[in-house]
């Protein structure tokens, strides 16, 4: 980046922060009126899409057009698919137990506590994690081998996430599976194919921001933070805590990788265990 591009990038950082904050404050207003904070999960992907669109508009004339369009389209497609999936999954359900438990621990006003810990916190995370999307849009370097490797990683991640979500939704829709643990398809190889796919998506977007070493080092926090959130933060850790008491889940965790897709562990006789 030249000095002009760095100045424009600084403006973009502020605009991205304002965009994320606006999205989550609007969601907070709706959630309070409806008494349902779980709708913030739907907005998570939508906020990334909004930041990507704003970045694409503001970076015109500064970054390579091919890279700008690719990173914006990839982020919007990922974000809107995730938002649509969570919206379908949440339809007809009440409050998420995670938010109920969180607000039950509020030291004071529950509404202000939700604003501070959930909405403002997620707005900050969207801004921070979206740094590769912003940095890539201001790179003047044309698409190269590294960028196409990033695109390949993004495609693999999105496919893994979407297929895993589809398999789980189809499994839950079958009444015969009520009370069973999903251990088929991608879910036989990893307990969290959707989270693993998410992680690949953001490592792919990170590679798109790597033509210049300075932005690459600066935005490395993004995929690292997203992976940590998915594995030891609010993703895998909380979900497994919620699932731990279900019949068959201990056996499932004993034979199935926690994150990276690996062949199911086998019994002494050499055949996979079954929860059926």
Confidence of residue 233 (pLDDT cuts 50, 70, 90): confident
Mean pLDDT of the chain: 89
> b or e along 3-17 (b: 16 or more beta carbons within 10 Å of the residue's beta carbon)?
eebeebbeebbebbb
**Are 173 and 120 contacting, i.e. CB atoms less than 8 angstroms apart?**
no
Angstrom distance (rounded) from CA 193 to CA 45: 17
Closest CA to 132 of 216, 64, 192, 41: 216
Mean pLDDT computed over 84-108 = 87
User: At residue 270, does pLDDT exceed 60?
Assistant: no
Mean pLDDT computed over 90-101 = 84
Q: What's the pLDDT at 274?
A: 36
User: At residue 91, does pLDDT exceed 50?
Assistant: yes
Angstrom distance (rounded) from CA 165 to CA 145: 30
| Comparison of pLDDT for 257 and 214, the residue scoring more | 257
pLDDT in tens, 145-180: 999 999 999 999 999 999 999 999 999 999 999 888
């Amino acid at each position: 980046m030249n000095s002009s591009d760095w100045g424009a990038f600084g403006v973009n950082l502020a605009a991205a922060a304002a965009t994320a904050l606006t999205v989550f404050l609007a969601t907070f207003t709706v959630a309070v009126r409806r008494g349902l904070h779980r709708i913030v999960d739907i907005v998570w992907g939508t906020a990334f899409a909004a930041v990507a669109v704003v970045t694409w508009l503001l970076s015109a004339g500064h970054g390579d057009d091919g890279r700008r369009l690719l990173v914006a389209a990839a982020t919007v497609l990922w974000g809107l698919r995730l938002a649509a999936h969570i919206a379908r999954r949440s339809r007809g359900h009440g409050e998420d137990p995670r938010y109920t438990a969180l607000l039950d621990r509020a030291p004071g006003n529950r509404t202000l506590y939700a604003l501070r810990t959930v909405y403002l916190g997620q707005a900050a995370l969207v801004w921070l994690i979206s740094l590769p999307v912003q940095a890539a849009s201001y790179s003047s370097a044309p698409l190269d081998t590294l960028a196409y490797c990033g695109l390949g990683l993004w495609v693999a991640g999105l496919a893994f996430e979407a297929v895993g979500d589809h398999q789980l939704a189809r499994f839950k829709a079958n009444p015969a599976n009520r009370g069973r643990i999903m251990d088929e398809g991608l879910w036989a190889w990893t307990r969290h194919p959707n989270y693993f796919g998410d992680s690949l998506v953001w490592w792919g977007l990170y590679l798109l921001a790597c033509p210049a070493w300075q932005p690459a080092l600066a935005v490395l926090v993004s995929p690292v933070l997203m992976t940590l959130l998915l594995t030891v933060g609010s993703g895998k850790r909380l979900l497994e805590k919620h699932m731990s008491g279900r019949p068959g889940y201990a056996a499932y965790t004993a034979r199935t990788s926690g994150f990276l897709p690996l062949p199911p562990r086998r019994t002494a006789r050499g055949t996979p265990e079954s929860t059926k």
